[in-house]
Structure 1
Amino acid sequence: MMNNSNIKQRNRLPIGDRVSVFLKVLTMVGMMGIIPAFLQGQEKPVRGQVRDSESTPLEGVTVQVKGTRTATATNANGNFSINASNGDILVFSLIGYQPRELTLQNQMVVNIQLTAESRSMEEVVVTALGIKKESKKLGYSAETVKRQDLLQNRTVNVMESLEGKVAGLDISPPAAGAGSSTKIRLRGQSAFAGAANSPLIVINGLPMDQGARSSNGWQPAYDLGDNMQQINPDDIESMTVLKGATAAAIYGSRAANGAIIITTKNGQRDQGIGIEYTSNFTVNSVLDFTDFQQEFGQGQGGQRPTDVGSAISTGMLGWGSRMDGEPIVNFDGVMRPYAPNPNRIKEFYRDGTVFTNTVALSGGSDKGNFRASFSNSGAKGITPAPDNRYTKRIFNLGLNHDLTKKLHFSFNANYTKENNENPPQVGAQGPGAPNFLTRMSTSIPLAAFRESAVAENGTERQTSGFQGTLLNPYFAKGREFILNDRDRFLGTATLRYDVMDWLYVQGRYNYDYSVSKLEFNTPTGRGTSTPFNNNGQGPGFNGMYHIEQAKGTEINTDFLVGASKEFGDFSIDLSVGGNIFKRDVGTFIDEVEDFTVRDLYSIQNGINKTINNYTIFRDQTNSLYAFAEFGYKGMLYVNLTGRQDWFSVLNPEANSEFYPSVSGSFIFSELMKEQSWLSYGKLRGSWAQVGSANGIPPFSNHLFYDILPNQLHGRTLGTILGTRSPNALLRPFSVEERELGLELRFFDSRLSFDIAAYEKVTTDQILPVQISNASGYTDTQQNVGSLQNRGMEFMLEVIPVKRDNFRWTSSFNASLNTTKVLSIAPGTDRFVAQRFEGNEFIGALVYEVGLPLNQLSANTYLRNENGEILLNDNGRLLQGPVVNFGSALPKWVGGWTNTFTYKNLSLSMHFDFKAGGKVLSSSALNGLRQGHTKASLIGRREGENGVVFDGVYRNGEKNTIAVNPQDFYTDYRNLQIADPFIFKSDFIKFRNIALTYNLSDYVKNKFGFIKGLTLTASCRNVALLYKDLPDYDPEAFASSGDNRVGYEQATVPTTRNYAFNLNIIF
């Protein structure tokens, strides 16, 4: 048996990798040696606080000594510290507020109030390449995420906090707990392949893919997380969502689906040393949406089991007699009451917990600033068998330093170590707890499965007729494991030289290194009555052990030359740059079956090696780009960009692509200044053409060979890997997008409105196309498909109440997107992307020309010309043709947030919704045919002698024949009819509520050394207000991939999360 100590020992990385990671961290820590230099020259600090007219502390106010480069910014509590001399003039400025100047006259403490501007609605947005621009200059959609949205309702994966909060951003987290990935889509799904649909993530100038690692296979199916969970929300300074192709065009092929720009904190100049501590504790309580029938128990044909054999064969069936509490025999031979057990979900799962602590040290002088933080998260998942645990440690460092008056250096580094033990199986009918708990008869108590999981010979005791499918989770505890380790280092170094006040040169180096290790097993005796290989016919003990390790390095080296100049009423910004992107990935996989020594899971102990694979690939992209901005009188702006990419994965004779864009904005409110009701008005428009090579892996255009895992007569043999023919003519798919937007703000910005409309056409999609088997292959990849995305985004913000001590802000956003298939392959109008195959699967996910993407397709009822359902002469169903039931993709995504602020108390409530998609529920099929759902009660209640289905015979006469319910409902599976199992995937959720109390003024006056204290209590997943899918949360079955979208299977339940957060600043 595999014990915990062995599991933890196996969970460690190889010594070489640990040394490599340690040296990187040591190098990073060594950078902190320059920190003391920042602390020189703090002889006359001036401290203070900046508030607005309602006495609310203002964060991000720039405080600058006029005529110098000495500047700082206020923290979350409005506090600042800056070195200045008597007679100096301090300038206080913040976008949206009137600037103020104050001459120092021996003051050491300065408290100042800023007044909101009624007309200037300009805000600074972090755009591509980390360049900050005033929002009025942008001709495309870009939305800055509010930091409180990330901090008030914390999640282990920071992207989950944004559900329904950004127009056009669709967030779908699977119900897999801490360490899981999040599906991110901007403006819908614009490509067939799932990997090519996520936006680019840019952290401190370092571009990277989302990197979701969620299994789409049948079994096992585990969610192994993504790159976003390696970001600590406490370290985030700003997050900007660049929605359209124009917004992210300068990033080229990697940003065909937009980009999310994240900047982490670097501390503040002239701040002195500061310490910030944040602690968050979350309890995750399981939500059970199942509402199964509790009238009839285990059995079939209306009869309860009478012996152990019948108890085993009917363990998954609820077609027995009406439960009366009398003792009956169970699968283990023990007599137990024949009574319902309706709380099995909550009885099996436990409350999960997440405890996160972050400590940050920051400081600065007039020459620079720094911030270093360490975060530790420990999570206990809701799944006890096998025991799910997740830990994460993050070290983050950011610093800026003026080497000279013109030469500036910045450095950011992030090191993350993750350990995920036994993540729950998601969305699969394989050997997982969700499948078992929802398909075993309600009359069998959970204690029976727990107490009798192991047979006398040490194998899993058989509980049902589906011995290899419905597997007891209690047998897995202590025997079955899945261990996932990951170490990652991100580093960015930037050097900028200001040649003149209008001209600069910048160089940047980004380094991304990761190493991951995955191990899992099938223990001996799992799903079988014998521990021996091949039912005792072969040597050794049955079982499986799998291990894989991946190392990856991504290096980005870029340069940028920028110039900005004004000529009277005209302004011009010009930039020219280039980038070299190198990627090096190596993966090895070993898998063995059957073991010489029982319960020893290692490659050496395996008898049959089923996988022995080592893969290494390298690719490189060279790029040159330029962008220009032309302005007139601060109200008219035109932006042009162009980027040329050269790809190593393409044929050298045709490996280059060019991506242009143009955008413009017109601030027409500048011509209507006499209209007091209009605070701000802007019209924007853009066009861009970008592409993506993400669907083209290295070596896909050339033939290459692999080594067979097992030798033949002592010889190692080579083979051509796979059945797909290489294609030397592959090229990146292309995305052309147009956008038009309008921004309006009225009545001193008490009413704000933003609407955008866009059309995006994606051509040269890469799809597998079947070829003749005579070629030695079955298919090849070709540029054949095209899609069209059309949509609108709407944002509305209202301040209904704005008084001295009370403020109510209400914001609503919604987006409409439809993705239509324009073409597939020549001569092909329909393509099956994924068949939902297996023992109980029905239907498929298909692409069909002229219809919205991702159609759920399956057999329907056979109907006559009047639309009536036809039955055979025995009153039973007949199989109809295969039809499309609708797209699995939602059309509408949005949210509504209300925030009430009274003095230092803030209450925030958020609702979000999705609508317009369909879901095919395999659980509903299994629940009906096996007698578990309430729908299965029709035909066996008092006074009913069977199912008299509402249909007609072929002669047109109405059906009057009653059919045995078990036989009738089993026909749905046998005939693969899907109609009763198609539901809307719509939902409306009361997503979260948060109460925040800012005690900064009190503790500062009381203790002095404490600069800020904030307490927050919150609840996430407060209530599910509307859904159409019975028994399950329509979000729970989500996957980060696109191949199984809209297909529901047994899944881990969602949770309601109660959290308490403490933030204290010294």
Structure 2
Amino acid sequence: MKKLLWLLLALGVLLGPGSYAQTGQPRAVSGVVSDTKGSPLPGVTVLVKGTSTGASTGADGRYSVQAAPGSTLTFSFIGFTTQERVVGTDASINISLAENTTNLNDVVVTAYGIKQERRQINYAAQEVKSKDIIESRQTNIVNALQGKVAGVQITSAGGAPGEGSAIVIRGGNSLDGDNQPLFVIDGIIMDNSSFVESTSPGGGSAFNGQLGRSAVSQNRAGDLNPEDIASMTVLKGPAAAALYGLRAANGAVIITTKKGTAGRTNINYRTQFSVDEVNRLPTLQDQYKQGSNGIFDATTRASWGPRFGEGEPIYDNLGNLFQKGTAWQHYLTMSGGGDKATFLVSASRLDQKGVVPNTLYDKSTVRASGTVQFSPKFSGSASTQYLNSGGQSPFQGGGLFGTGLNPSGFFTSLLNWPRNDDARNYLNPDGTRRRLLGAATSAGDPDNPYFTIYRNPQTTRTNRMIGNAQVTFEAAKWASVSYNIGTDFYSQKDRSVRAVGTSQPDNQDGGIAETTIINRLLTSNFLVTLNHKFSENLGSSLVLGNTVEVSRNETTDNYGRIFQNPDFVSINNTVNRNTLITNKERRLIGNFARLNLDFLQQITLELNGRLDMSSTLPRPEKNKNFGRAFGYGSAALGWEFTRTLGLDQNPILNYGKLRGSVAVVGKDTGPYRVDSPLAQSTYIGGGFRNGFFGSNRLLKPEQTRSVEAGLDLQFLQNRLTLDVAAYYQETRDQLIAPRVSQATAFILQYINGGTVENKGLELALTGAPLKSTQGLSWDVIANFTLNRNRATQLPSFLTEVYQSDAFVIDWARGGAFPGKPISSISAVDFKRTPDGQLLIDASGYPIVNTGVFEYAGNRAPDYTVQVTNSFTYQGLNLSFLVDFRQGGDVVNGNDWLATKTGMSTRTLDRYKQVVFDGVLANANNTGPLLNSDGGYVKNTRPTELTQGYYQNVLTGTAASFVEDASWTRLRYVTLSYALPAAWLGSSFVRGVELSVTGRNLVLLTNYSGVDPETASAGAGVRGGGSSGFDYGSVPATRGVDMGLRVNF
């Protein structure tokens, strides 16, 4: 398949130029760029349109660039209007640029592909261009947004190849953890999901109840080729995304792909080689070896034995496992066209080897797009892309055994492997698993981490097609009609293997689980656009639209146990097999309207309205296919006060706008929550049984109401731009699924209940502080984000709402309490007095508040600041991103486990005598002991830090392992150099750029673990539900990328 794809692309490269041969060979074109007063302008960017070939003007305003007759040159400079000139027979083109005092005629792509001038947008929206996406050198486009947009939090799950990322805008609105924004590509809804526990291999069958928390999960937006992206616009609040109605609650990411341009056929090739290594690892104790209570014991993995003797080997099992990771990336794009049609064809290939042995990831993409002008009034465009990705990874987190003393994720197993034994020696001479605890039962001797990596791999493979076709009819200058239909179809196959000899009960004779997910998403959009200018002082635009979304999902879960041939891994080789098939369908119909009014070129008003009908909501009549309609809308108003006050030519403040908006949007529920379907029983006797979720015919959508105020300012003739936004959002009728009485025959039931509020402040600053006459420029982008959210109300019978998929260690989980953030840490703590002092028992130890989960911290930061700087001198460019995070908490689950097993450096205080700072408890340990005056009695009892203290008292809590997650990090540094056009002469090579990038080179934090930016369950808990839990993930990496780009 790979060879065929590259062969097709090669044929396109060979045949394409002949099909559009309209221009001659490139030659030198030179000239002078000046302002309207005739003064030369240094630092003006001169580009051959549709390519990356270009140059910058020098101190005298002169430039020289290689361009063919018929191609188009673009001249751009901050604070001046961009101009274009077509290259003719003249070898000299001189041009004068006029100052642009607004710089707001730029077009921004918003909901449903509607293009609006920036000055008409009265809500929070930030656009990230292709250059900034590629500059980050990220293969996942979600990660490429890190630090680029205020109000957006992105959490990368770790350093595994192909690891997914979660994205949340403005803190999240939903208690159920589903807070990811809507993704739209070229006007078509795109799936960005990732599997969770219920859809992992065997997850629906109880074969592997831990896998949703223990396997690498990709987010589907990571399938895309970053080189195909022209821009990404983040619609942050409900007002920005209001046209999407029931889909708008969490904001939206609008992706616009690149299109071909008229002129010479251009070929662009970029390659990149990367080397990665683990950034940081936990520090483990190297003083004590295997055993219990100071005595060597070969029947336990714990390291509570005697001290190492002089000369005894001490193995670095944690450090020995990791290797250098590498990645090769190749990107090839060909584009061109004429006056009537354009085309673009691209392909990419990524091959990645992880820092953990036997971990791999690869991705291949092929895309073709074209535009056609059938007549002056009738045009069309189409795009299709094929994406293939997959990889192999080991169990993470708790692995097959979950939490406790014997987890079997590869990393947690390393944290629990005694350092007197070399974990690399994992096989017996006959190839069977070497057991560390020979006297224990097989089930009591969990798998060696190397056995987990090499014999029990987790694999995934996705084949995907995304495509759309759009036609537009310009009925008149003031009226147009467009229709866009597209689909996102993929098949994902995940496999989980248990080799013969695996220690997990019921799988010691081998087992395999395979899950196939087939997902189809069809989107149909019909838009009518009407424009009318009533007078010089009043303009208007009206958009009327209809959208239909149809989503179908089929999940087939096959699993089998007991391999007949231990060396043949196949489900057909198993003795006991079961199959579970789940089908889901979801339909949504929406009708919407948008009205824009422009008064006096100073006041702009936008009104949006939408009426939605969803198949997942209760139906008013049994024969209806949809639930009752729900209406949503927004209003946004902006006042350009600098024009009213005559300040638009002011040399200091040349543009200013006050804006405000209000909006009401919603979110529907998933399929089959109104009427619960029966599930086929996989046990003896067959038949059907109730599923997990009970029915509720009273469900209604969540409703989010928002108020936003903003200020847009531009200074120094647009060299400095400041965007300020303050907002308040309230989401009512939360859709949550608490446990219900077993008498109902169900376990969970979705209900409406609870309210969440978000309020915050965002600042986005862009500017060019330096533009020297010698051609030196400095550009800066800075984003500040502050968000506060809390669950203001829960249903009366609930004291906490938690996400089960984030329940990664015994005594900590992600939860929400009344009056606390929805990103709270819910954990077991010690018993305390009302003023927070520890209660101490008769033996001198703090008392564990067993089984009681309390608020223990907030995983969200207090605020974040990201600053991107870019320095350019002629063809040399240096860019870097610095990321600051203040506040927030992280659960160090790795240290919790290492402490429990005697491997943490905390346990080096073992056997010491201490007096805990606290007060004495009463006789039954339910409260403080009071003296005759009614006061507390201070603890003065000395006690020893025994093995029992660490295993049963300290790690009986998780609150003791909550740490500050503040950091300062250098996300990336990129140095690139574009060879001067004069060096290339008249060769067919039109541009060459060399680059080197360092990623995650610096991390400054007080966190004692691997990296405070982590999500233990990856992207598998929707919208960051597991962020802030550091437990058994592949450690984050740092690396170097070396790149080459060539334009032909």
Query: Shorter-chain TM-score category?
Result: 0.7 to 0.9
Match of 1:831 among 801, 807, 812: 801
Q: What's the offset of the Cα at 1:1051?
A: 2.0
Contact 1:427 1:1051 in 2 (8 A): no
Match of 1:677 among 639, 652, 674: 652
Q: What does residue range 186-225 of structure 1 map to in structure 2 within 5 Å? A: 186-195=169-178, 197-213=179-195, 215=197, 218-219=210-211, 221-225=214-218
Q: Which moved more, 1:840-849 or 1:254-263?
A: 840-849
Q: Distance in 1 between matches of 2:12 and 2:472?
A: 18
Q: Deviations over 1:851-895 (max 9, x none)?
A: 221332333333456754332232223224653122223332331
Contact 1:172 1:1038 in 2 (8 A): no
Q: Distance in 2 between matches of 1:1030 and 1:474?
A: 22
* 1:967 paired to 2:948: yes
Match of 1:794 among 759, 763, 768: 763
Q: Distance in 2 between matches of 1:104 and 1:83?
A: 5
Q: Distance in 2 between matches of 1:790 and 1:866?
A: 29
Structure 1 unaligned segments of length 5 or more: list them.
1-11, 13-17, 62-71, 327-336, 536-540
Q: What does residue range 156-195 of structure 1 map to in structure 2 within 5 Å? A: 156-195=139-178
* 1:584 paired to 2:559: no
Q: Distance in 2 between matches of 1:582 and 1:868?
A: 56
Which position in structure 2 is the counterpart of 1:154?
A: 137
Which position in structure 1 is the counterpart of 2:201?
A: none
Match of 2:123 among 126, 131, 140: 140
Q: What does residue range 564-583 of structure 1 map to in structure 2 within 5 Å? A: 564-566=531-533, 567-583=535-551
Which position in structure 1 is the counterpart of 2:468?
A: 492
Q: What's the offset of the Cα at 1:1043?
A: 4.2
Q: Deviations over 1:475-519 (max 9, x none)?
A: 235422222111101111111111122221111111221111111
Q: What's the offset of the Cα at 1:627?
A: 0.8
Q: Secondary structure at the match of 2:319?
A: helix
Which position in structure 2 is the counterpart of 1:333?
A: none
Q: Secondary structure at the match of 1:604?
A: helix
Q: What's the offset of the Cα at 1:140?
A: 0.4
Q: What does residue range 523-602 of structure 1 map to in structure 2 within 5 Å? A: 523-527=499-503, 542-566=509-533, 567-602=535-570
Q: What's the offset of the Cα at 1:459?
A: 3.6
* 1:229 paired to 2:212: no
CA shift in 2, pair 1:1032/1:137, >3 Å:
closer
Q: Which moved more, 1:843-852 or 1:862-871?
A: 862-871
Match of 1:936 among 876, 882, 907: 907
Q: Deviations over 1:300-351 (max 9, x none)?
A: 3233x3xxxx2342x331x33333334xxxxxxxxxx243x45x43321111
CA shift in 2, pair 1:458/1:28, >3 Å:
closer
Q: What does residue range 798-947 of structure 1 map to in structure 2 within 5 Å? A: 798-804=767-773, 805-834=775-804, 841-864=810-833, 867-880=836-849, 882-940=853-911, 945-947=912-914
Match of 2:375 among 398, 404, 407: 404
Q: What's the offset of the Cα at 1:921?
A: 2.4
Which position in structure 1 is the counterpart of 2:574?
A: 606
Q: Which moved more, 1:204-213 or 1:45-54?
A: 45-54
TM-score for the superposition, normalised by structure 1: 0.86
Q: Distance in 1 between matches of 2:390 and 2:88?
A: 56
Q: What does residue range 978-989 of structure 1 map to in structure 2 within 5 Å? A: 978-989=958-969
Q: Secondary structure at the match of 2:950?
A: helix
CA shift in 2, pair 1:426/1:263, >3 Å:
farther
Q: Secondary structure at the match of 1:369?
A: strand
Q: What's the offset of the Cα at 1:282?
A: 1.0
Contact 1:515 1:550 in 2 (8 A): yes
Q: Distance in 1 between matches of 2:11 and 2:265?
A: 19
Q: Deviations over 1:583-640 (max 9, x none)?
A: 222121111222333233333332333x421122222212211111110232211011
Tell me which amino acid in the other structure corresponds to 1:992: Y
CA shift in 2, pair 1:82/1:726, >3 Å:
farther
Q: Which moved more, 1:621-630 or 1:470-479?
A: 470-479
Which position in structure 2 is the counterpart of 1:1023?
A: 1002
Contact 1:45 1:108 in 2 (8 A): no
Tell me which amino acid in the other structure corresponds to 1:969: Y
Alignment length (residue pairs): 985
Which position in structure 1 is the counterpart of 2:58?
A: none
CA shift in 2, pair 1:542/1:1035, >3 Å:
same
Q: What does residue range 616-635 of structure 1 map to in structure 2 within 5 Å? A: 616-635=583-602
Tell me which amino acid in the other structure corresponds to 1:991: R
Q: What's the offset of the Cα at 1:136?
A: 0.8
Structure 2 unaligned segments of length 5 or more: list them.
35-39, 56-64, 199-208, 621-626, 922-928, 930-936
Contact 1:96 1:122 in 2 (8 A): no
CA shift in 2, pair 1:56/1:131, >3 Å:
farther
Q: What's the offset of the Cα at 1:990?
A: 1.4
Tell me which amino acid in the other structure corresponds to 1:272: R
CA shift in 2, pair 1:148/1:753, >3 Å:
same
Q: Which moved more, 1:945-954 or 1:557-566?
A: 945-954
Tell me which amino acid in the other structure corresponds to 1:676: P
Q: What does residue range 397-546 of structure 1 map to in structure 2 within 5 Å? A: 397-422=368-393, 425-426=396-397, 429=403, 430-444=407-421, 448-454=422-428, 458-463=432-437, 468=444, 470-527=446-503, 542-546=509-513
Q: What's the offset of the Cα at 1:909?
A: 1.6
Q: Which moved more, 1:568-577 or 1:476-485?
A: 476-485
Which position in structure 2 is the counterpart of 1:1054?
A: 1036
Q: Deviations over 1:85-123 (max 9, x none)?
A: 9xxx99978895235587998526646464653554543
Contact 2:335 2:343 in 1 (8 A): yes
Contact 1:213 1:223 in 2 (8 A): no
Q: Deviations over 1:336-381 (max 9, x none)?
A: x243x45x43321111111011111111112121110111111111
CA shift in 2, pair 1:725/1:737, >3 Å:
same
Q: Distance in 1 between matches of 2:76 and 2:945?
A: 78
Instruction: State the identity %.
Output: 26
CA shift in 2, pair 1:906/1:649, >3 Å:
same
Which position in structure 1 is the counterpart of 2:696?
A: 727
Which position in structure 1 is the counterpart of 2:284?
A: 292
Q: Secondary structure at the match of 1:275?
A: strand
Q: Which moved more, 1:420-429 or 1:810-819?
A: 420-429
Match of 1:739 among 694, 701, 708: 708
Q: Distance in 2 between matches of 1:1017 and 1:103?
A: 34
Contact 2:150 2:785 in 1 (8 A): yes
* 1:126 paired to 2:118: no
TM-score for the superposition, normalised by structure 2: 0.87
Q: Distance in 2 between matches of 1:1000 and 1:424?
A: 50
* 1:370 paired to 2:343: yes
Q: Distance in 2 between matches of 1:324 and 1:893?
A: 49
Q: Distance in 1 between matches of 2:86 and 2:701?
A: 59
Q: Distance in 2 between matches of 1:34 and 1:504?
A: 35
CA shift in 2, pair 1:1027/1:862, >3 Å:
same
Aligned CA-pair RMSD: 3.4
Q: What's the offset of the Cα at 1:832?
A: 4.1
Q: Distance in 1 between matches of 2:88 and 2:800?
A: 78
CA shift in 2, pair 1:129/1:492, >3 Å:
same
Q: Secondary structure at the match of 1:161?
A: helix
Q: What's the offset of the Cα at 1:239?
A: 1.5
* 1:39 paired to 2:20: yes
Q: Deviations over 1:681-738 (max 9, x none)?
A: 1111111111112x322x32224323222453xxxx3213313221222222111111
Contact 2:69 2:87 in 1 (8 A): no
Q: Deviations over 1:529-555 (max 9, x none)?
A: xxxx979xxxxx622210121212211
- More relative contact order, 1 or 2 (CA 8 Å, 6+ apart): 2
